[in-house]
Amino acid sequence: MAFDATATARATMKTLHRAAEPDVLKPLLERARLTPESRRNVVDHAAGLIADLRAAQTKGWVNQFLQEYRLNSSEGVALLSLAEAFLRVPDPETADLLIADKLGDADWRAHTGKSSSLLVNSATWGLVVGRVLVGDGGGALKRLISRAGEPFVRQAVGAAMKMMGEIFVMGRTIDEAARRMRRSENKGFTASFDMLGEAARTTEDACRYFDAYAGAIAAIAADAGAGHSISVKLSALHPRYEVAQYDTCVPELTAMTLELAQAAAKAGIAFTVDAEESERLEMSLDIIAAVAADRSLDGWDGFGMAVQAYGKRCRPVIQWANDRGRLMNVRLVKGAYWDSEIKRTQVEGLADYPLFTRKAATDVSYLACARDMLEAKNIRPAFASHNALTVATILEWAGESRDFEFQRLHGMGEGLYERLVREEGYHTRIYAPVGGHRDLLAYLVRRLLENGANSSFVHQLADEGLSDEELLADPVEKIAAVGGSRHPNIPLPKDLFGAWRNSEGVDLQDIDILAETVSAVNQTRLPGEGRGRAASGSKLDPGLRRGGSEDLVGRAAAAFPAWSAAPVEDRAAILERLADLLEEHRTELMAYAVKEAYKSLADAVGEVREAADFCRYYAMRAREDLATITLPGPTGERNAMRLEGRGVWATVAPWNFPLAIFLGQCAAALVTGNTVVAKPAPQTPGIAARAVALAHDAGVPEDALILAPGGPEVGAALVADTRVAGVAFTGSTATAKKIARALLDDDARPIVPLIAETGGINAMIVDSTALPEQVVADVLTSAYRSAGQRCSALRLLLLQEEIADGVIEMLSGAMDLLTIGDPADPRTDVGPVIDQTAYDRLMTYRESAKDRWIKTVAAPATGHFVPPTLIRLDDMDSLTSEFFGPILHVATWKAGALADTVARVNAKGYGLTMGLHSRIARSGEVVEAMARVGNLYVNRSMIGAVVGSQPFGGEGLSGTGPKAGGPHYLPRFCAERAVSVDTTSAGGNASLLSLDEGGI
């Protein structure tokens, strides 16, 4: 059989994707290692390049900005925050608040006039002007500027921000960018133009970006002899560039990319597909392969791709590119999404990182891949770097060859390549972003973060405390010295929480793992599947009646003394075994979640993970919380306090988290020494029964945890039983109040603790500094994921008036792309609501508000599918009830009325979750101080609380507390018992009498 190099490369990518860092780096170290003679040559050459770079610092904007404003200074942080938000703020009042927030504490005056660049000093002057007016002091200058008023300040700061924008953006249009490339400072360089667009959120976005790319190709073609090229970002061309949408997005993106590539080929210009986040790599390769193989591009050598060296799969990707059967232009970059990739891996609980955790490891990977590219027969290399050592190493390996090019970002690396281009004949291309200042903001901030970070060469070059020897330290030796180990401050996801093991996730962004998971879940047959739900709740379980052998509460009460007497270590160990069993049976439990509770695959993974997290977290907390505490007191006494179980707890769980909340309640009660009669929701008895069985397998005695399936009558009987010593409930506010009243009905009954977590009218407040694309993504997740059936889900979106229309338009476009359907289908975004009763209530309300619909989308006609709907409110106060489904209300608020808006949300009486999107730190402080909610989320979605990180629970009409998954939860399940012993009662205080003389 013929050797298939492409298949081998793809298989190697799979192996390396999340492999241990030392294993991945071992062959890279050998490939990147220099001989002693080559190392001396490289260091000598790099020293000369550093001298050129330092000489250019008096000319380059960004070099001087990085010198003046370090990212570890208050001024550097303020610059980033201000640049990211200021130019998109439409209203003067919020702009003034943003200026005051970002400039108020920084020392801009210390930077005045220090730079040799007039532009840097002009920008600094704009910032000084702002600081004078919003800060203390200022004297005559403040009085002078105050006469001009706040518009003068906004104008000055706006000018500073636009000047910063010019550092990184070649032009606002492709024609302007092409003209700028003709300036003398760019002599000898060519450009790769990138029409700015980080990612499309709507179909309209994607069409606009496609037209921009097509227009740019046409403009570049008008002067094809200049040698400029185009770079295209696939995520800008499709709003659903996601693994789950592979069958749709990959063919569509292939067609669009081919069309653009054909235009570039016809014009005779080069065309590069930019790199994306690691989860999109396999899709990107499929698209690139299809385009590269298209016969219409035969004879054109301009097609290419970018590859990121920080990825563990980089080297086989290079091999794969070399095996395309045609010449491929390959741009090797260090990588653009490092911080977000690290976080996503941790959040998802994946086995390992898809990239290197040390900057030096990325440098090693870059050098190894560069060497492969220089030797590859079918690759025309392009090396994107601002690192003098990297450049010098490539030059050493290339020898006399000039059959490659260097690349640098516009605004960065000035001085590094000028001599090479103009005196030594090397080709260097400038990666040149094109777009309006408002479009560049997220891009600008990322570039600043990457190149201003402590570990970057650009930052280190500006650090006068570093010698040339330190700058030119060999990354191979650095990594070899630590054995290729992971960065010590970046733990594996499983070790993220230190004292307890994080739950294992499933990488649903890996197309093979996704397919395997879908198949496994769909093939799992559940008891009674196809016959409807097993428990109707129509009859009272006979085991709840007094006096019989099936008396569930009686059985649990009888089991209490032995279980309570078991050492806390034994109970904790049982919970940890249960967590292991949950993960071992993940597929089966996911099948229950999908088929019984109608959860999506991603939500089903989260369900199992949260249940396991509860078990391990409460086991860890119990070891600490239930330890006897010795208390202070006078000599001759022993004072101590301990926590012990109360007796039998009744737990009443909801259907929307039928495993996580069900087991979380049970685990907390069990580990604290209580026995439990657990009532699941009548809609989801199957998954609860399986959880109880696994708990018994883990070592929980059968009578210490007893399942009580059924409807409301079962719950009422449990609550009414005077032998029940505590109730943990999650559900509606109305039911929680009924339980509270029932616990007080019998005057002879002890006062029983109730832990209740209910719903809320959860609001998200958005001001005009917020990034609309981020807002829309977080609103979709918060309002419509899980069909809006989460306690924490967003119900009320409050937009500042000035941005409301734009955000609603973008949100409406994004809603058009939602897929409503079978939750077992990975393409589904919104599944059905839980049952007919829920469907009828939601649809009745939805129809009653039809005249206020802003947006709705089509849903399947059969099944309990409620169409995601956006409803306009004339007044935020008019929403007084929670609608538990995919219905979102939107209202507006006036600039300057943030505090009043929070107060009006508080006045509704609920207090579960609240969200804020704002770039003004002071606004976050105001909301944090005022919001009467259990969980406040700032600049992120409002769902997905993580055990141990974001303890969950509300106040007011939204619950009693304490928070589930938090450090104060377990004590509520316990009785506190203090003991005081007179140790002198036998005749004297021996310990006091035996004291020595205290060191004299």
pLDDT bracket for residue 75 (50, 70, 90): low
Domains: count for the chain:
5
CA angle 306, 308, 309 (to 5 degrees): 135
Are 769 and 744 contained in the same domain?
Answer: no
Q: Spot the catalytic one: 314, 369, 615, 791.
A: 791
Q: Are residues 576 and 702 in the same domain?
A: yes
Residue 126 has pLDDT above 60, yes or no: no
Residue 327 belongs to a domain: yes
9 located within any domain? yes
**CATH code of the domain in which 222 resides:** 3.20.20.220
Q: Which CATH number do you get for residue 952? A: 3.40.309.10
Tens digit of each residue's pLDDT (9 = 90 or more) over 754-776 = 999 999 999 999 999 999 999 99
Q: Write the CATH number for 517.
A: 3.40.605.10
What is the token pair recorded at 671?
Answer: 């580990």
Residue 123 scores a pLDDT above 60? no
Range of the domain at 974: 511-528+551-758+970-978
Same domain assignment for residues 778 and 715: no
Strand order of the β-sheet with 629-631 is: 629-631, 637-645, 974-982
The predicted-structure confidence for 677-733, as pLDDT tens digits, reads as follows 999 999 999 999 999 999 999 999 999 999 999 999 999 999 999 999 999 999 999
Instruction: Tell me if residue 523 falls in helix, strand or coil.
Output: helix
* Reduced DSSP (H G I as helix, E B as strand, rest coil) percent helix, strand, coil of the chain, to 5: 50, 15, 35
- Residue ending a domain, choose from 252, 269, 300: 300
| pLDDT (average), residues 508-515 | 96
Predicted confidence at residue 414, as pLDDT, reads 83
DSSP-assigned beta bridge partners for residue 947: none
- Please indicate, yes or no, whether residues 126 and 237 belong to a single structural domain of this protein: no
Of 243, 271, 300, the residue at which a domain comes to its end is 300
- In tens, the pLDDT along 521-571 reads 999 999 877 644 433 333 334 444 443 334 999 999 999 999 999 999 999
Please state, in angstroms and rounded to a whole number, the distance separating the CA atoms of residues 848 and 864.
18
Confidence category of residue 154, pLDDT binned at 50, 70, 90: confident
Distance (Å, rounded) from C-alpha 822 to C-alpha 602?
13
Same domain? 100 vs 196: no
Residues 194 and 97 occupy one common structural domain: no
Query: Of 148 and 924, which is predicted with more confidence?
Result: 924
How far is CA 997 from each of CA 635, 991, 994, rounded to the nearest angstrom? 17, 13, 10
Question: Reading across the β-sheet that carries 648-652, which strands appear in turn?
Answer: 705-707, 675-679, 648-652, 724-730, 754-757
Q: Among 414, 607, 757, 802, which one carries the catalytic annotation?
A: 757
Query: 706 with 549: CB under 8 angstroms?
Result: no
Q: What is the pLDDT of residues 207-252, one digit of tens each?
A: 999 999 999 999 999 998 999 999 999 999 999 999 999 999 999 9
Let me know whether 804 and 910 are in one domain: yes
Question: Are 216 and 131 members of one domain?
Answer: no
Domain presence at residue 990? no
Residue 318 belongs to some domain of the structure: yes
pLDDT at residue 86 above 90?
A: no
819 has pLDDT over 70: yes
Predicted confidence band of residue 425 (pLDDT cuts 50, 70, 90): very high
Which of 300, 323, 355 is where one domain is finished?
Answer: 300
Mark 920-934 as b/e (b = at least 16 C-beta within 10 Å): bbebbebbeebbbbb
DSSP string, 406-467: EEEETTS-TTTSHHHHHTT--EEEEEEEES-HHHHHHHHHHHHHHHHSTTSHHHHHH-TTS-
174 lies in some domain: yes
Residue 145 pLDDT: 41
Q: What is the pLDDT of residue 105?
A: 57
Residue 761: closest CA among 483, 956, 979: 956
Q: What is the dihedral of CA 78, 80, 81, 85, to 10 degrees?
A: 130
Question: How far is the C-alpha of 920 from the C-alpha of 915, rounded, in Å?
Answer: 14
Query: Averaged over 325-329, what is the pLDDT?
Result: 97
- Buried residues in 122-132 as b, exposed as e (16+ CB within 10 A): ebbbbbbbbbb
Asked if pLDDT for residue 111 goes beyond 80, the answer is: no
Q: In Å, what is the CA distance from 55 to each residue of 47, 82, 187, 420, 758?
A: 12, 30, 18, 15, 65
More confident call, 66 vs 528: 528
* Interstrand relation of 637-645 and 629-631 (parallel, antiparallel or unpaired): antiparallel
Q: Are residues 292 and 308 located together in one domain of the fold?
A: no
Q: In this structure, are 376 and 244 located in the same domain?
A: no
Backbone angles phi, psi at 200, to 5 degrees: -80, 135
HEC secondary structure over 225-236: HHCCEEEECHHH
The three-class DSSP label of residue 211 is helix
Q: Is the peptide bond before 867 cis (omega within 30 degrees of 0)?
A: no
Is the domain of 939 the same as that of 790?
yes
With respect to residue 42, please indicate whether it lies within any of the assigned structural domains.
yes
Residue 536 CB neighbours (<10 A): 12
pTM of the model as a whole = 0.93
pLDDT, one tens digit per residue, over 645-681 is 999 999 999 999 999 999 999 999 999 999 999 999 9
Share of the chain above pLDDT 90, in %: 77
Spatial neighbors of 872 by CB under 8 A, at least 6 apart, are 852, 853, 854, 889, 890, 891
CA–CA gap between residue 413 and residue 62 (Å, rounded)? 9
Band of pLDDT at residue 15, cut at 50, 70 and 90? very high
Q: At what angle do helices 314-322 and 359-375 cross, to 10 degrees?
A: 20
What is the pLDDT of the chain when averaged over all its residues?
Answer: 90
Give tens-digit pLDDT for 584-611: 999 999 999 999 999 999 999 999 999 9
| pLDDT at position 130 | 47
Contact 90, 803 (CB under 8 A): yes
pLDDT at 884: 97
Residue 534 lies in a domain: no
459: in domain? no
Q: Is 791 a catalytic residue?
A: yes
Average of per-residue pLDDT across 70-78: 62
Taking 80 as the threshold, does the pLDDT of residue 344 lie above it? yes
Q: Is the domain of 639 the same as that of 781?
A: no
Of the pLDDT bands very low, low, confident and very high (cuts 50, 70, 90), residue 488 is very high
